[in-house]
Structures are given as C-alpha cells and as structure tokens.
Structure 1
C-alpha cells in the first residue's frame, strides 16, 4: 500500500439533474428540466473543473416505472451527454455507465474509445450488469440474466472491450506522405475472441488515446460484484453508508485485489457523499432533522423496494417486523438487498424503520464546513476511502462544498489546488496500461513534464 502521508484525496461529482430523491426537484433554484438540459450538465462540470475535481459521473439504468425517482424518469443518455461536456471542458474526467447485460462489446469499445479521443484521454466506463429485472423486456428478453451469469458475462465483456482497445499498436500510423504509407499493417491486430458469451473478430476501427485506454470503474456490492471489481476495476464506486461498513468494504476490496496479484493502490475506492453544510453544526443538524421529518413514507417504501426489483412493500404492516422475503427474488441489486435483509434481522427493524433507514440516503457528513472536512479527512486517513463522489443537484449545497469545504481540504494538503495532469489516469495516479501488442504511450506524469 502507498505511504499514507502522501496519498491525495480524490473527488468526483455525480451529476443527477433534478435528483434521485423525493424533494430536490422542488428547489426553485434548480431548473425543472435539469436532467435533460445539456447546458445544466456543462455548467456543473465546469464548476467541478474549476474546483479541480477528478471527474464527473453519469449514472444510468435501462428500466423505469411510474414511481421511479424524478431524475431517472427523464434524463439524457450518458455517452451523448459526456461527448457534449467533453467539448466544453478541458481537464475533468468524464465517467459514464453502460451495462454489459444489454449491450455488445464492439459497440461499447467504439463508443468509449471515441469519448476518450474526443476528450483527449479523460474517459471512464462504469461497468454495470443491470440490477432491475424489468430491463430484460426492453431488450427482447422475457427474463433477466441470472445474477451469476451477469457477472460471468461482465468479466468476459470487459476482457473483449480491452482487447479491442488494443487493436492498434501505439505507433501503427506513420502517416508518411512521402512514402504514401498511412498504416503499418503489421501493427493492426484482430482480436478473434470466441468465448462463452461473445464472439468478436475485430479489429476495432480506432486507435488508443493519450491515456491508453478509458479507466474502468465498477460498483458491485455482492460477492460476485466485489470479485469482479477486484479483477478489473481501477475505480470503485460504493455507497459508504457509515464509517465502519465503508472501512470494511475498503479492506475487503484491497485484500481481494492483493490476493490475485494486483497492486491495491491501483484501485481507487470512492464513496457517495451528500453533505449537509451550514454555518454551525447545530444549524446543519436542524436542517437534517427537518428534511427527514418531511419525508413521504409511501415514496420511501417504493425506494426500499427498488433493491428487490420494485417489490411492493405497501402490502405489509408498517409496524410489524420487516417481512420475510425468502420467496422474493434477489436477482436485482443482490448485494444491497442482502444488506437490507441482514440489517433488518440483526437489529429487529420494523418495516417503517427499514423504510426510513434504507429508503432515503442518510448523510454521514453533517455540520459546519470544518466539521464536514474533519469527517472527510477521518474517512480518508483511517482507511475507509480513497475519495468521494459528491451528489450534485441543488446549486447551493454544491456551492458551499466547493467554496467552503474544498479550501479546507486544500489547506491541509489533502486535495490538489490545481491540476497536475490533463488525463483521467493522471488525476487518479494510474499508469497507462501496456499495449499487449507492442510499444506503450508515455505515462501521464512524463507527458506533463515535457
């Protein structure tokens, strides 16, 4: 593991338009159509770039219901969105979600490879297997892939995509006008992959970018998800519900990576962050209490059900013990569902208590800017995270974090005051992956030194 005194905190921004909770869209300072307004995304990305954030992140899923959260009901497709943001920014990383369950490797390799070129080496792919079973019917299937099959498919999918990204050696295009040679044909390589789930010939009609390949992110929490993350991820997105569970997750992922011969420092683990910041701790706690008091229990039950493929929890007694779900499929968000069931059992929660616990995000970072910065530093220094992903919807909380919390982190030497690199790999301290067919590009650090 790296010297803890020289680690640098990483910060990303999840751009969630009108919001993934019940009430953000009600903010009069937030455009009601933010989730489909490219201008809003560009503005937020520029603000995050001004604060030297590592990346912006776009979540996605291919299935909705009438009860789905406001942002998810009506939002832009990630790759199209990020390509527009790439042309309006210059440094910040651009990470988007695409599923391995309902896409094809060649398409994904081409799309993310294109984004990597458009952004000059700032792209990242969040690899997901799609949790919601209803997505199957949007792609011509009557049933969702089984959980284990999804993860086996995902591993092969990533291998194929990375193989396609290496279709050309880094010096394959001499573009020599004098000799009339555009391509050195010996340096173009077919993939000829034939596996359990995919058959892809290649080559991809696209060369490698300045950072070699887009950065691979992943967010699975089940045992299969953690295994995949340890195998392929360079960045991990995690919930980070509380310090103890975040530290346990962090230790587990790093240990899994070490056990299979990977350098654990080459996986950056980022936890979700939704701080409540006010001038004093007392004021921040009052804001939190008021917000929780205004929650709609019916909507909390819907959100609780999402982890179980939108299981209808309204059919049970609110003040009865959390229901027996042994007959309910866990083929959706398996890790999250198992955690809810386990916690409800261990703590003897009623359904009402579980709805308030899991149906709404409970911030662990509440207080004055210094209090929030202190807690961020504690999580970082005590081995719970490598960084955080800030939820960005309403403008005022985002402003307070940038203007009041980030400067404290910078003054403590935890976070950069300006960019040292202009690729996402450079920001995250990741090396350029070796081209499996020959010469490699210089590292981001070497490029910056020229």
Structure 2
C-alpha cells in the first residue's frame, strides 16, 4: 500500500500539473490534500483521434489535475477548503471542453467550506495591512482556514441539515459584521443559494477516509497526491507571514487525507529551472533587470488563477536545500529548462552571507533574510533550443552540466526534465 506524492519545492508555479498529468495515467486516484481554488495548474494535452486530434489547454484550480486522464478519479480531501460556486464553475468548464468527469469526482464530507463573505473579508484584511499586505489571491482561503482553526467554520456535511446550517451560517456572518463592520452581504440569499447547491453537491460527497483506505487496502489502488502551492508558502516552514494558510509540506499530505506516513512510497519535488514567486515577500535571487524580464516573457510567467505577473530570479539552491530537508524528496522534476535556452551564462544561488558571515540554513527572520548577500556559481549556457529533446542524450552538454550541478548540490537525482508545455515535452532520466 503506497502513495506517490508530487509537491512544489519553491514558491509555487513550478509546473506540478504536467507531471501529475503524466503520472496519473497509471493511477487510480488523484487526490488534493490542502489549499483551495487559490492553486492553479495548467495542463496541455492532445485530445481526439487521428486528424481530429488537437492540443487543448485545461486550467485546474480546485479539482485534481489527474482528471485529464479518463480512468483516474479525482478526490478533494478533508484538508482542502472548498468554494462550491467555484467548484461547479470549474467542473462545468472542463465538461464544456469535452472532459467527461461523470462519476469521477468526490469531495470529503469533512472538507471546510469557503463562502463569499470569506472572500470579502480577505480583501478587507489586505486593506487593513496596507503596505504590509500579503498579496493573497483574495479567494477567501486565509479567512476560511482561520475559521477552521477557531472552530467557527462549516464543513461539507453541515450542508445536508439545512436548518442547522442556516442557524450556524447566520451566527458566523454576524460575527464577521461585528469584527469588520456591516459590509454588503445578502445572508438570507446565501442560505437559499446553498440549499440549492447542497442538492447538486450530494452525489459528490463521500466519507473520504473510509473510501481512500478501502481503495488502498482492499483494491490495491494506486494513489497520486497533487500538492498545492509549495514548500516556501508553507504556514510553518515558508517565508512567514508571506505564505498560504495551510501545510504545503509532506506533512500536509498525511493530515489532509488521513493517511499515515508509512503509506507514502515516493515523494517527487517539482523545481523550476529558475525561481519565481507571486505577491509580496522576500526573494533573495530576484532579478529586476533584462534577464528577469526575459525569464518572465519567455517563460510566460503569469498566474493561472490570478493572471498576475510573476517575479523571476535565478535558481536558489539554499531554498531548495531547505525544501529537501523538510520534504525528503526521493527525486526531482526540473521544469521549464528550455526557458534558459538563450542565456549565455546562468547563475545559481549556492549560499547566503550577512556581514561577511555565512548563514546556516534558511533564515526564519525576514529582517535577517532581507540583509543577505547571495553567493552565486556561474555556469555556461547552451545557446540552442532544447524544445525538441525527447531523451536525456538529446540535451546539450551544458544543459546536462546544469542538471548535474543541481543534483550534486542537493544530493537528490533529477528524474524528470521539462523542455516545453506539452505532455510530450517531458524527458525521463534514469536515476539508478
């Protein structure tokens, strides 16, 4: 009984969705364990047969990306927060694109609900923070997790006792009015709206704990866990407070799905060949010059969920070493290597110093982090397109040297190498 896990190793947007799509072709279940519709995975896959076969782009936010594969079930686990209108809008959009998800999507009855008032509060809190705002997606994720932690949230199963749901909902909204003022919100209209949504939702709701363990133990199901966000946005180990509101680490897999660590067989860390992040927060290797703009434009660095332009910089191996310590990656997936094709030289962050003294580990103190000087190693670029490469041997020597440098520093092998957007643009390298 083993589970394969795919996790973001940096600040998110590493391209996890493509590997999840590839791996889920051999999986029975693809599960989400944390986060909400603040995540964004873009999948480009060929659809149809023969001359009618065309590439389609699917955008996933809340639903597991593995649904692109017609035999794979998508499971939204207990650790996820769910905004039902967004769930159905995403599901309907996928269906309209020809992706039949009938009978293949399930939601845990323990998952917390995100309401529109959470999204309103999210925006109010950002305004309150002013110049210190986090730069959230304003999807209501933080306020929903806050309600969960303060034991004032509502879960999926609450929807099916309408009278109790309505009473609890009114009390929660009234509490938000007391804290944030009487913002415009139709409480009674929302209660009626969720009565209708509950009817539509019922066929999707299951006891995910029983379902998952039954599938693993009795049916020997192959399970793939799709991480949302990434380690550096983890509530405990990321660049707090510029983080998300859940555990994005391998620990969140266990708590968000209710599976013990011994069931996890393989952990894959997804690493972009350079570094990006969205929103505010520290970014030691950020590039504010023409190279940063080049990475942004060639890499099409715009958020799937928000459309926001991503900040870009050199690969930071101090960040990745920190990430490896926590998540214990068995192998890595290096993505978007082709974005570096035109660079004559490539820098890699290999250490931090403050006042000439080496900094051990990744600093928890953001004031200290703001003072670090990054030590770089400089490697030669390959100055040729690798978009057509389909095997490791197809890569130029300098591209192989870049991969080897990363492996030697982190002591973790790179098994997968992304050289383009499509499903076919993923090289698998032997790691034995």
TM-score, L = length of structure 1:
0.32
Instruction: Compare the two structures and name the one with the higher helix fraction.
Output: 1
Higher strand share: 2
Q: TM-score, normalization: structure 2?
A: 0.33
